[in-house]
Each structure stands twice: as C-alpha cells, then as structure tokens.
Amino acid sequence: SDPWTTMWYSDADGVASVSFTLDDFSLGGDYPVAGRAVVVHDDDGTRVACGLLQSTSGEVVTLSEYPSYAGDYSTSGTLLVEALDSSITITGTLGGLETSTSGGIHIHSGYTIDDADGVGGHYYEGMASDPWTTMYYSDKDGYAAVSIGISDFSLVSSYPVANRALVVHLSSGTRAGAGLISASSAYTTLPTSLPSLQPTAIPTVLSTSVRTSSTAAISTLSAYPSYTGSLSVLGTVTVEDTTSGISVGGTVVGLTASTSGGIHIHSGVSCDSADDVGGHYYDDMTSDPWTTMWYSDADGAASISFT
C-alpha cells in the first residue's frame, strides 16, 4: 500500500516548517529518491507545487528566531550555502518577514546562535572592507526567494563560512532570524594548520573538515504544472540519508494558513507536466509510506522536517 501520508502543518502566516523521516528510502541506493519530484498538496489534496531533488555539495541552514529578538516577526527559512571556485552562493526560502521590503542577509563571525554575543559581527576579518551588503526582497506576504553570490569566501578553505552564523535582518537592521551553516558528516578532518585569518581560539569541532561525498539533495519548489488556483507556493526542501532511510526538511510558503496538507516524493523525474510527475513513489513496497504532512502558520508558510 501507499506509504505517502506525510503532511505539512501551516501557521497563521501560511508558512510550514516540515520535518520527518522515512525508513527504507535513500538518495542513491535502495529506493532512490534523488532526481525525483517532490510534490506539495493543499489541504484538499490539490497538487500546488513541484520541484526535483538535485544532489548538492552545499550545507543547509535552518533559520529560527534570533536570540533575544522580541519583535512582531517570526522569521523562518531554509537556505543552502554552496562553494564555487572562489565564491559562495546562498539560495533558499524565507518566511515571516516584513512585507514588500528588503533586509540584510549576512554571515557573521560567531559559531553559535545561543546568544547575541556569540553570533558576533559580520565575518570579514582581514578584508579591506565589509562585503556584507547582500539583501533579500520580500513580497506582499512577507516571503522571500533568496539567490545571492559573494566572492572570496569558501565553505572550508580561504575565509571559511562552515559552522558560522547566518543572520537575517529586518529593513531597520534588527536581527530577526539566525541559523548555523553546520558542516555535515560528509566531511573528513583537515591537517591541524588553519588559515591565518581564523580567530586564535577555535573549538575543535570547527572548520576542521572537507567534504568527501554528497549526502544531501535539494528541491526548489514552484507552481505545479497546470495548477490554476489562487495559491503561489514556493519552497526549499532538503533530503539527507540516515542510517535507516531518509530525513526530509525545509520551508514552504504561500500555503493556505493554519492548516495541513501532504508533502510527498513522486515517481517522476520531471515537473514539466502532470503525467511526468507520476504518483507516489513506493514501487514494490507493501504499503504507501507517504502520509507525510506540512503544517502551515497564519501566513501560509511551513518549515519542513521529517524522517
């Protein structure tokens, strides 16, 4: 039978944070999901968004409220930080922002988001000037699709950003959201010598590794093919291997507010048409595992995490 009963749960803003795990599936081994379609269903079952799972060598950042922030906005999001030859890119989805404005999105020097002092200031030690003028632009619902690039930084070599804090600012400059660029288990230890630009006192778990394999895939969601309804659903969904299956997480915005709906992996490897997307992916399994759900907030956004 079909395992895909996985769901989302939206808040009053229509934002859903999704988190769940599923046994037996994998990225590239048994029951492989890499390259397949992730589909988001509205609370009535309508397919409203689709995106393909693409392998990534980047690091996922899950954003939550900034420490000590006491304002009116509930910033959340899922971002991917990837390294290119001499730069990094930051892509993903934010929800719970001010509407129709812009704000800063920057990497800070700190290695924790437990308190404001630990987050520190903009990370650019040794550079001639502060490069962190990077911005997001929110829509009328307080959502933002992020896609920025910045030169000279890397994940784990020159000016490494792995394990540092990523901060989202409101238009006033107030720090409203934060998350760590956590290095994954697909890294191995580097030699003990570190770049001279590093602070002198660094916990042993920090900036001491390089990626040896890709253990994650990411899906950027957009409108489902042929969908003509009123929702404009966007999102970023990640899938990682676990010891017994897969872990699914991410943020979906533009959902019906304060409700729930399905989020499933389908058999298709294209979102070009409904026929290409196919049905729930569970070939030869005894039952359909896709009961996974999203839960949206009052603004129609959902953060995703499940195994």
pLDDT number for residue 214: 59
**How many angstroms from the chain centroid is the CA of residue 153?**
20
pLDDT number for residue 184: 61
- Cβ atoms < 10 Å from Cβ of 117: 10
Residue 161 banded pLDDT, cuts 50, 70, 90: very high
Q: Is the pLDDT of residue 188 over 60?
A: no
pLDDT number for residue 295: 76
- Tokens for 113, please give them: 């988001």
Residue 116 banded pLDDT, cuts 50, 70, 90: very high
Q: Is the pLDDT of residue 208 over 70?
A: no
Q: Is the pLDDT of residue 200 over 90?
A: no
Residues paired with 260 in a beta bridge: 9, 295
Q: Which residue, among 123, 131, 132, 129, has the nearest Cα to 198 in the 3D structure?
A: 123
Alpha-carbon span 303 to 295, nearest angstrom: 8
pLDDT number for residue 187: 44
pLDDT number for residue 138: 98
Q: What value does the mean pLDDT take over residues 163-181?
A: 98
Average pLDDT along the chain:
89
pLDDT number for residue 147: 97
**How many angstroms from the chain centroid is the CA of residue 258?**
21
Measured CA to CA in angstroms, residue 17 lies from 13, 260, 281 at distances of: 12, 11, 22
Q: What value does the mean pLDDT take over residues 145-162?
A: 95
pLDDT number for residue 303: 74
Q: What value does the mean pLDDT take over residues 239-246?
A: 94
CA-based end-to-end distance of the chain: 19
Mapped to the 3 state alphabet, what secondary structure does the chain carry?
Answer: CCCEEEEEEEEECEEEEEEEEEECCECCCCCECCCCEEEEECCCCCEEEEEECEEECCEEEEEEECCCCCCCCCCEEEEEEEECCCEEEEEEEEECCCCCCEEEEEEECCCCCCCHHHHCCECCCCCCCCCCCCEEECCCCCCEEEEEEEECCECCCCCECCCCEEEEECCCCCEEEEEECCCCCCEEECCCCCCCCCCCCCCCCCCCEEECCCCEEEEEEEECCCCCCCCCCEEEEEEEECCCEEEEEEEEECCCCCCEEEEEEECCCCCCCHHHHCCECCCCCCCCCEEEEEEEEEEEEEEEEEC
pLDDT tens-place string over residues 35-45: 999 999 999 99
The CATH T-level fold of domain 58-211 is Immunoglobulin-like (2.60.40)
- By DSSP bridging, strand 76-83 and strand 144-151 are unpaired
pLDDT tens-place string over residues 11-54: 888 999 888 899 999 999 999 999 999 999 999 999 999 999 99
Q: Is the pLDDT of residue 205 over 60?
A: no
Domain edges within the chain = 1-57+214-307, 58-211
Residue 293 banded pLDDT, cuts 50, 70, 90: confident
- By DSSP bridging, strand 144-151 and strand 87-95 are antiparallel
pLDDT tens-place string over residues 251-267: 999 999 999 999 999 99
pLDDT number for residue 206: 39
